[in-house]
Amino acid sequence: MSPVQDKRRPAARAGLRHGVLRAGRWSLRFDPRAVLVCGALAALAAFAMVLAIGTGTYALSPAEVVRTLAGDGPPGAEFVVLDLRLPRALVAALVGFGMGMAGAVFQSLTRNPLGSPDVIGFGNGASAGALVAIIVLDAGTAQTAIGAVLGGCATAAAVYLLAWKRGVHGYRLVLVGIGASAVLGAVTNFLYLRADIGKAAQAASWTIGSLNARDWSDVTVAALGVALLGPVVLVYARRLTMLEMGDDTAAALGVPPERSRLVLLAAGTGLTALAVAAAGPVPFVAMAAPQLARRVTRAAGPNVLPAAWMGALLLTSADLATQRLTGSALLPVGVLTGVAGGAYLAWLLRAERRGARL
């Protein structure tokens, strides 16, 4: 076999990993393995939701949960499933989906596995905005969601402007974001100090992340972010891949780097803010989901959609675990994700250190 043929074989094998769907003038290139991974993650997340819905004092089997959702459940199950438990499960899936997608965007933009919205301060900004609405303005659910969005967007704008120096580079964005996160932590503590006990208790879920007492209004908030901003991220996913190659390469390929980065930053911030508005700043889901998705798909690039489904699976599984471990739904899910995320962060730092030695 000639040397020329040897060089062509890897390219041919790489091409077999991708499929193409064509409809008239439009075509869609996809990775079959990534599609299978997304389907498997979605199925596992749905199964975790069914188990979580059936968990509680009024226990239901998975078959009874499915029958109740179809309108043929046992007596009394309809109220428990549809009014009490289904909103919580849907919020977990939608918030995890949005956080996983936002994490993939930010980690790709910063080219850093630590560049997730909860580390670089965008989640804390949304949380601070929600706390201002609750403690200072005595706002309701809708106003709190607006406060979270405004807080997240204001934080993103401040970090972006402070990190600007002939463009925005990943390491500066991470460093400025960590500083902003520390400042916002101080703001949050100040808000708690000036709040009365009742408002402080009401706002407590915004500091750790909780799925307790979620209702259909919270589902609407979380679904709004996924429905409006998820398509924007998916449309710009190809540009995100090109931005990972560097601004000069992206510009040579016809992608305006700074404008594309700004749109993706705005979309990721909106996803984070609306997720925080629905469930509070659940830690580490946005950091872990893209890394785990990349290992499962074995594909380079942002893996936006697999990361989103991985986030949904992580948060629905965490919700199930908190209910099964404690026997109730009172433990905030952010406690479990914080413990698991801390262990994951230690492992990630150790892996990065070992990789640097090689």
Give the model confidence (pLDDT) of 204-237 as tens digits: 766 778 888 888 988 998 999 899 999 999 988 8
pLDDT digits (tens, 9 = 90+) for 229-281: 999 999 888 888 787 777 677 777 777 777 888 888 889 888 988 898 888 88
The CA angle 90-84-52, to the nearest 5 degrees, is: 55
Residue 334, pLDDT score:
86
Higher-pLDDT residue of 187, 348: 187
7, pLDDT greater than 50: no
350 has pLDDT over 80:
no
> Across the chain, what does the average pLDDT equal?
81
Does the structure show a pLDDT above 50 at 6? Answer: no
Q: Model confidence over 36-90: pLDDT tens digits? A: 999 999 999 999 999 999 988 888 889 999 999 988 878 878 888 898 899 999 9
Residues 292-320 have pLDDT tens digits of 998 898 877 788 999 999 999 999 999 99
- Tell me: pLDDT of 1 over 50: no
Residue 14: predicted pLDDT: 39
Confidence grade of residue 11 (pLDDT, cut at 50, 70, 90): very low
Distance CA 70, CA 67 (A): 5
Phi and psi for 164 in degrees, rounded to 5? -75, 130
129 or 169, which is more confident? 129
Confidence grade of residue 329 (pLDDT, cut at 50, 70, 90)? low
Of the two residues 197 and 45, the one the predictor is more confident about is 45
Distance, in Å, from the CA atom of 173 to the CA atom of 111, rounded to the nearest integer, reads 10
Cα–Cα distances (Å) from 81 to 57, 73, 78, in that order, read: 12, 10, 5
The predicted structure's pLDDT at residue 355: 59
> What per-residue confidence (pLDDT) applies to 98?
94
More confident residue, 289 or 209: 289
The per-residue pLDDT for 167 is 63
Q: Which residues of 71-97 are buried (b: 16+ CB within 10 A; e: fewer)?
A: eebeeebeebbbebbbbbbbbbbbbbb
Question: Among residues 94, 72, 108, which one has the least CA distance to residue 237?
Answer: 108
Closest by Cα among 287, 348, 347, 332 to 314 = 287
Question: Structure tokens of 194?
Answer: 């000036």
